[in-house]
Amino acid sequence: MHIGRCWDFKDDEQPAYPVVEVTLSSADRRVAIMPKVDTGFDGLVAVDGETVRRLHLTPKGTVLIRTARGYREAPIYPVNLSQLDLGVTYKTLAIGTERSLLGRRFLENKTWLLECKAMHGRFCIVTRITGSEA
């Protein structure tokens, strides 16, 4: 197995969780964020209020979302998302939430390694699997 770029876990809550640095842009503003990787989120990206403020985003509507606390309406914002290490760029609608998240749509069509050993967890892109590991 060949491992590409790895990101550390963020440990401001327990258990710690993986994060991936991405760049969001809108109009003439650009910001790098470290959203939580959330496999329970079926979307691509969600942005918190601080990111909305820094990018000067204006909602383009709302969407009904299901959270762990139930259903609610959330604003949606047009953004450009890029992650250069992975070679991905998206024009998408980000959902406004309490915290910034990357969901399953960001993870799909890639192979990931989630290493949770001791307190030194890391989240890595697998660039190639050799024949004996396939």
pLDDT in tens, 43-94: 999 999 999 999 999 999 999 988 778 899 999 999 999 999 888 999 999 9
Structural domains for the chain: 14-109 (2.40.70.10)
The whole-angstrom separation of Cα 123 and Cα 73 is: 31
Strand duo 88-96 + 45-47: pairing: parallel
pLDDT at 131: 63
Burial class (CB in 10 A: 0-12, 13-18, 19+), 105: middle
What average pLDDT does the chain have?
Answer: 88
